[in-house]
Amino acid sequence: MYARLEKLVDQIRSGYWFVPAVMALGALLLAIVLVAIDVKLGDEWLESLPFFSPSRPQGARAILTAIGGSMIGVAGTVFSVMMAAVVYASGQYGPRLLTHFLSDRGNQFTLGTFTATFTYSMMVLRTIQSAGESGSSQAFVPNLALLVCILLALISIGVLIFFIHHVPTRIHISQVIAGIGRALIAAIPNRYPARVGEPGADEEDAAIEKQIPECFRDGFEDDGDEPGFAEIEADSTGYVQFLNELTLMLAARSHDLVVRLNIRPGDYIFPGTPAFDVWPAEKVDEQVEADLLSAIAAGDRRTPADDMLFLLDELVEIVARAMSPGVNDPSTSNTCLDWMAAVMAELAQRNMPAAFTLDDEDRLRIIASPLGFADYVRLSFGSARDYVAGDKIAASHFLHALGLVARSCTREDRLQALVSEADYLHVLSREKLSGHSLCEVEDRMKQFSAMIAHPRRRAPFPALREAAPEAGKKGKSAGKQAESRARSGSASRTKRQSSS
C-alpha cells in the first residue's frame, strides 16, 4: 500500500507535465479572480494613475491575442529545444540520464510559464465585450487583468532568457556529473542517519541470534525436504522501485512472522521470483501474501528515488563512455571519480544498516542483506576499475581519489576495502600499461601506500631539499642578471648626460 503510494507520488513529482499543469491551473484561477475584481472596481481607478488609461475592447483584444499567440509559439519552440538537448545528452552520456533531464525544475518551470501565460490570456480574452454584444449596452474591458497579462508577458521574456542560459549549462558534462553526485550525497542521510561508531554490544547480538529461526541460520542446508519456511513469489514484472519497510514490519507483526528479504530496490522481478521467505510456513495464507507483496512497487525502469545504486551506475556509465576508444576522455572520468570519492567519504562516516530489524517489543521481524561500505566501494570504484586501468592519467587519479576517501575511514575493515581496490587496479595496470606510463602509476601507488601508513592519512609533502639548491641557483642567476641590467642602464644614462 505505502510502496505503491510512494511510487505514485514520485511519478507525479518527477513527471514533466506536473509543474506546467499546476501553473496553467493557477493561471486559470487567477484570471477568474482578477476578472471578478474588475467587474466590481470598474474603470475609475485607472484615472488616478499617470501612465495608464482604460483600454478599449478592440485594443484589449489585439493585445491579448498577440500575447497568447506568441506564448504558445514560444512554448512549442522551448519544448523542441528541450527535446533536442535530451536527445544529445542521452546519446553522449547514456539513456539513464533522461530521468534527470525530464525532472529538471528549470525546464518544467519554463514550459509552465509560457503555458500559464497563454491560458491566462485566453481566459481574459473571452470576457471582453463591446457595446451591444450579448445584449449589453456598455463595453467591458478587464483592465486590471489586462495589466497583469502584460506583466506576465514581460516575465515570460525573462524566463526565456533564463532558459537560453539554462539549457547549455544543464547539458555540460561537469554539471551532469555534479547533479548526480549531489543527489547521491543528499540521499545518504535519509538512509544512514547515524554517524559511524563501534559495532553493537555482544549481549544485543546474542539476544538477536537466539531469535533467528533455525532455517534462516548460517550453515543451514536444505536436504530436499521442507525447508521450514514458505516462499512468497513476486506478482508483478519490472524493477523494484520502492520497498517499504514499514509495510513489511506491520504485516510481520500483525501475523507474528519473521520475514527474510531476497530482493532490493533496483532488482528485476517477475512472477516466480522469490521475494520473501517467511517463517513459520504454516501461518502463510493468501492474506499474508497480499500484505507482504503490497510493500513492493515495481516499474518499467529503475529510479533514483529508493535506489542509490542507480545513481552510482550512472557515474560508472559516464566513466565507461569517457574511456571508450572512440572518446578517450580521462578528464571526464576523473570528474566522476572525484564525486565517487565524495560519496564514499560521506558513507565512510556513517553506520551501515543492520541485517536484523526488531519491532517495538524487541522481537525479530525482518532479516535483510544490506549493502555495506565495501559493497559500495566495489560497485563504484570497482566497477570503474577496468575502464581506467589502461590510462595512466585516469589510473593515477583513481588512486588519488581512493586516498582522499581513506582520510574519512576510521575503521580498519573499511580502510582495507580501499586498499584492496588499489591493489586490484595496480594488477590491471601492469597488464595494460608499460614503460613510463606504468612507472607513473606505480609511483602513484607508492604515494597511496604512504598515505595509508600516515597517522592522519596524508600524502607526504614533496621533498624540498632537492628543489632548494636548484631554486637557489636560479635565484642567484636571476639576481645577477638584474644587477647587470641595472648597471648597463646606469652607464647608458651617464653617457647621454655627458654628451648633452
Is the residue at 466 inside a domain?
no
Domain assignment present for residue 193? The answer is no
Structural domains counted in the chain = 2
Q: Is residue 350 part of a domain?
A: yes
Q: In this structure, is residue 6 part of a structural domain?
A: yes
Angle (nearest 5°) at CA 428 between 323 and 307: 60
Q: Which domain holds residue 366?
A: 308-453
Helix (H) or strand (E) holding 426: helix 412-432
Enter the C-alpha cell of residue 20: 506546467
Half-sphere exposure of 169 (CA within 13 A, CB side): 10
- Cα separation, 321 vs 337, whole angstroms: 14
Residue 329 lies in a domain: yes
Tell whether 493 is covered by a domain: no
Residues 6+ apart with CB under 8 A from 364: 208, 211, 212, 258, 356, 357, 358
pLDDT in tens, the chain (500 residues): 566 777 777 777 777 788 899 999 999 999 999 999 888 887 766 666 666 667 788 888 999 999 999 999 998 888 888 888 878 877 777 777 777 777 788 888 999 999 999 999 999 998 888 876 665 667 888 888 999 999 999 999 999 999 999 888 888 888 889 989 999 999 888 888 665 444 444 445 667 878 888 888 876 766 556 678 889 999 899 999 888 888 899 999 999 999 999 999 999 999 999 999 999 888 889 999 999 999 999 988 888 888 889 999 999 999 999 998 888 899 999 999 999 999 999 999 888 888 888 888 888 999 988 889 999 999 999 999 999 999 999 999 999 999 999 988 888 899 999 999 999 999 999 999 999 999 999 999 999 998 888 877 777 676 665 555 555 555 555 555 555 655 555 555 544 544 54
Give domain status of residue 390, yes or no: yes
Give the cell for residue 377: 566501494
**Are 62 and 125 within 8 A, CB to CB?**
no
Name the domain boundary from 453, 477, 495.
Answer: 453
Domain boundary among 147, 171, 195: 171
Residue 180 lies in a domain: no
pTM of the model: 0.80
